[in-house]
């Protein structure tokens, strides 16, 4: 079990991680100081699996209500925020209440934005229940919802008071969601931590089996990296951009397929393959290192096909991305395992070529 600190412009908060950490949830919430009651925000699906444990943890801690909302991505929108906030008003939630978000990234992003904007801000606790949420979305203070025009277009930086990441909550996670998180774990290895990369390489079968020791080890390691990066650059003006490794093309794939074909990590899996090939094609990373990255991504499991997706559609989407600069895509490219460069411009012709070769490269890595 570990306690990791993150500094943000409005103060510090702690991430408590480890198997069984939830048992300390009650005292961590009490430790936040006086409140007029807590409200748990979650989804029916998450509640079905985790509700009993969460209720036991926070029993007697002034829980005044459990508000469940559908956590499909399509429901990550302003209408859901309004509905939850109206429920809070009717329940008499005031500025000194505490919201506890229990769920994956969708629940966390919506609940985070609810907390940021309800009565101009109430305290927030994250209890992430997906691997992706434990290593990524519950950390760093980004909250928000989608618009019909695009993902995450409305939101706020709003750090939680505390994050409780208990790996035992992942036991019930659908296998595909576990693998989705593992792609982000691979990402951390490539961008910042050679030892993590090697560990994941050695322990992939245990991780896929959800071996508690292996899972806890990588989760803590990833949280430490994200904590370091967002403490240095909370608002993504600079080095936080390394976290977008694989996301330039990954986001474009998600958009091109209407967020239906890939779960997030899978799109990032493809995106990391493309960025790695681009790194190699432009001489930034040597072929042997690139081949190791490609093999590790392939070992996470099958990826939904990209065969019917046109590179020209991706070009249009990438240029219009909110992270593009004057219509030019910015790439995060590996220079070796454990180190990337960010803000890189690459001729689209090279990116399109890498995209065209992806299927073949992945098949070869699996041989
Ligand atoms: N704020 C950030 O910094 C940040 C970073 C990355 C991603 N995100 C956002 O996160 C979202 C994706 O989050 P996600 O990958 O966690 O997926 P998710 O929230 O969609 O959850 C995936 C599925 O798993 C179910 N689930 C969650 N926990 C479970 C458990 N313990 N047992 C069984 N089922 C469980 C959910 O009900 C859902 O059906 C996207 O909207 C993305 O934009 C935000
Ligand atoms: Zn991601």
Q: Whose CA is nearest to atom 10 of ligand 1?
A: 105
Q: Whole-prediction pTM value?
A: 0.97
* Structure token pair of residue 173: 């996670």
| pLDDT tens track for 190-249 | 999 999 999 999 999 999 999 999 999 999 999 999 999 999 999 999 999 999 999 999
Give pLDDT tens digits for 131-158: 999 999 999 999 999 998 888 999 999 9
Is-contact 294 337, C-beta < 8 A?
no
Span from the CA of 197 to the centroid of ligand 1 (angstroms) = 23
**Å from CA of 33 to ligand 2 middle:** 33
User: What value does the mean pLDDT take over residues 29-52?
Assistant: 96
Indicate which ligand has the atom closest to the C-alpha of 146. 1
- Asked if the model's pLDDT at residue 366 lies above 90, the reply is no
Tokens (6 digits) for 206: 């245990």
Asked whether 184 lines ligand 1 (CB < 6 A), one says no
Q: Does residue 264's CB lie within 6 angstroms of at least one atom of ligand 1?
A: yes
Protein residue with least CA distance to atom 27, ligand 1 = 104
pLDDT for 322 equals: 72
Q: 7 in helix, strand or coil?
A: strand
Q: Is 269 in contact with 246 (CB distance < 8 Å)? A: yes
Of the pLDDT bands very low, low, confident and very high (cuts 50, 70, 90), residue 359 is confident
Are the beta carbons of 242 and 229 closer than 8 angstroms? yes
Please check whether residue 279 is in contact with residue 290, taking contact to mean a CB–CB distance below 8 angstroms: yes
Give tens-digit pLDDT for 248-281: 999 999 999 999 999 999 999 999 999 999 999 9
The verdict on the CB of residue 292 being under 6 Å from ligand 1 is: no
361 with 277: CB under 8 angstroms? Answer: yes
Per-residue pLDDT, averaged over 293-309, amounts to 96
Ligand 1, atom 9, lies closest to the CA of 105
Q: What is the pLDDT of residue 286?
A: 97
| Mutation test residue for ligand 1: of 104, 132, 165, the one with most atoms within 8 Å of CB | 104
**pLDDT score of 191:** 98
**Tens digit of pLDDT for each residue in 79-129?**
999 999 999 999 999 999 999 999 999 999 999 999 999 999 999 999 999
Q: What is the mean pLDDT of the chain?
A: 95
Three-state SS annotation for 9-29: CCEEEEEEECCCHHHHHHHHH
Collapsing DSSP states into helix, strand and coil, what is residue 6?
A: strand
Across the range 68-82, mean pLDDT stands at 97
What is the gyration radius of the CA atoms in the chain, in angstroms? Answer: 20
- Judging by beta carbons within 10 Å of its beta carbon (0-12, 13-18, 19+), is residue 204 exposed, middle or buried? middle
Helix axes 194-208, 287-299, angle to 10 degrees: 30
> Which ligand is closest in space to the CA of residue 47?
1
Residues annotated catalytic, as ranges: 120, 142, 184, 226, 236, 240, 244, 247, 251, 264
- The rounded percent of the chain whose pLDDT value lies above 70 is 100
């Amino acid at each position: 079990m570990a306690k990791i600190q993150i500094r943000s412009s409005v103060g510090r908060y702690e991430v408590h991680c480890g198997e069984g950490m939830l048992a300390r949830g009650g005292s961590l919430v009490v430790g936040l100081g006086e409140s007029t009651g807590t409200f748990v925000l979650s989804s029916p699906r998450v509640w079905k699996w985790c509700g009993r444990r969460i209720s036991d943890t926070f029993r007697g801690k002034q829980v005044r209500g459990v508000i469940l909302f559908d956590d499909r991505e399509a429901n990550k929108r302003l209408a859901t925020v309004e509905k939850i906030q109206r429920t809070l008003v009717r329940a008499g939630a005031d500025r000194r209440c505490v919201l506890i978000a229990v769920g994956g990234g969708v629940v966390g992003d919506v609940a985070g934005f609810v907390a940021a904007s309800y009565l101009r801000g109430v305290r927030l606790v994250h209890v992430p229940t997906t691997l992706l949420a434990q290593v990524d979305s519950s950390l760093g203070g980004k909250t928000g919802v989608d618009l019909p025009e695009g993902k995450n277009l409305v939101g706020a930086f709003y750090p939680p008071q505390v994050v409780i990441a208990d790996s035992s909550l992942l036991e019930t996670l659908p296998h595909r969601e576990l693998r989705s998180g593992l792609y982000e774990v691979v990402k951390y290895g490539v961008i910042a931590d050679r030892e993590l990369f090697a560990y994941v390489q050695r322990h992939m079968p245990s991780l896929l089996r959800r071996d508690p020791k292996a899972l806890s080890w990588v989760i803590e390691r990833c949280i430490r990296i994200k904590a370091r990066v967002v403490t240095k650059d909370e608002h993504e003006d600079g080095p936080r951009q390394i976290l977008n490794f694989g996301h330039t093309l990954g986001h474009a794939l998600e958009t091109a397929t209407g967020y239906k074909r890939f779960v997030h990590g899978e799109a990032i899996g493809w995106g990391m393959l493309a960025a790695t090939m681009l790194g190699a094609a432009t001489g930034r990373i040597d072929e042997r290192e690139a081949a190791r990255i490609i093999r590790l991504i392939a070992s996470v499991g099958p990826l939904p096909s990209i065969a019917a997706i046109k590179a020209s559609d991706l070009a249009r989407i990438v240029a219009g991305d909110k992270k593009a600069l004057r219509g030019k895509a910015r790439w995060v490219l590996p220079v070796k395992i454990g180190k990337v460069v960010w803000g890189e411009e690459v001729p689209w012709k090279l990116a399109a070529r890498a995209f065209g070769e992806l299927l073949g490269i992945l098949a070869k890595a699996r041989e």
